[in-house]
Amino acid sequence: MKKSALCGLLAAVSIGLWLPSCKNTGTAYDAGGTLEAVSVTVSAKGNGTILRLDVSQGDRVEKDSLLGYIDTTQLHLQKEILRLKLDDMRASAKRGAAVSDNQIRMQELQIEQVQVTIEESGIASPFSGTVTECYVQEGEQAYTGRPLFKVADLENMILKAYVDARQLSSLRMGQEVKVYAMKDGKTAEYAGTLVHIADQAEFTPKSLQTQNERANLVYAVKIRVQNDGYLKIGMYADVNF
């Protein structure tokens, strides 16, 4: 008898502990995924020593503002040599020497190309954003294509989620949706805008798979969310359409 009463008490306690948990996690969402940010890796467009680079991780940079430059001493010398040769070719042509207009034009094009390379020695970001990674420092050697730093737009985050064919039929570009993410330990609601809907299905990504979802076909969607400073790259968020 005592044993039966004890079992009943334990069962009641177990149910009592379980019910609040169900209540707290019972909110249903249409989809969920991770937050991303539009980013670009700024690379060197020329060769030489990095004489200046005024960026650090976390810095805010503006589009096309000069952030640094690569040494162009050799390029300026090369340009001057080409210019002197061009002057000599023009002078020779006036004296009746065998110098064609095509030769002169080719020399002019070489000078123009060197000038373009000099102008590209300046280091700038293609859009306004926040520096999230730095790969080099002042004094290091740069070469064409070498990554210098990464810039991301953290003011407008992108939630990448997946929906099934049933959900897809009710979605449209520009649709306003509600996004939910953790903020100060609580679930906060954000306004979102649907900016991308995949036109081809794919299998459920491994990071989101359960045993029963491996064969499911889903469609990727992207939702733009204005960041209030609490949203971070890689955070999980939910969405209701």
Q: What is the Cα–Cα distance from 150 to 131, expressed in whole angstroms?
A: 6
**Rg (alpha carbons) of the chain, rounded to whole number:** 30
Q: Please give the average per-residue pLDDT across 114-122, as a whole number.
A: 95
pTM of the full structure = 0.73
- Residue 201 pLDDT level (bands cut at 50, 70, 90): confident
Q: Is residue 1's pLDDT more than 90?
A: no
| Residue 34's CATH number | 2.40.30.170
Split at pLDDT 50, 70, 90, the class of 28 is confident
Q: Please tell me whether residues 102 and 127 are part of one structural domain.
A: yes
Domain co-membership, 131 together with 161: no
Residue 142: give the domain boundaries.
Answer: 40-150
Tally of structural domains, the chain: 2
pLDDT tier, 8 (very low <50, low <70, confident <90, very high otherwise): very low
From 85, 120, 150, give the residue that closes a domain. 150
pLDDT at 150: 97
Residue 66 sits in the same domain as residue 33: no
CATH number, domain of 95, equals 2.40.50.100
Same domain (yes/no): 101, 50:
yes
Last residue of a domain, one of 118, 150, 182: 150
* Residue recorded with tokens 């299905």: 201
Instruction: Provide the 10 A C-beta neighbour count for residue 231.
Output: 23
Average of per-residue pLDDT across 40-62: 96
Same domain, 125 and 161: no
Report d(CA 55, CA 179) in Å as an integer.
Answer: 33
User: Do 188 and 139 share a structural domain?
Assistant: no
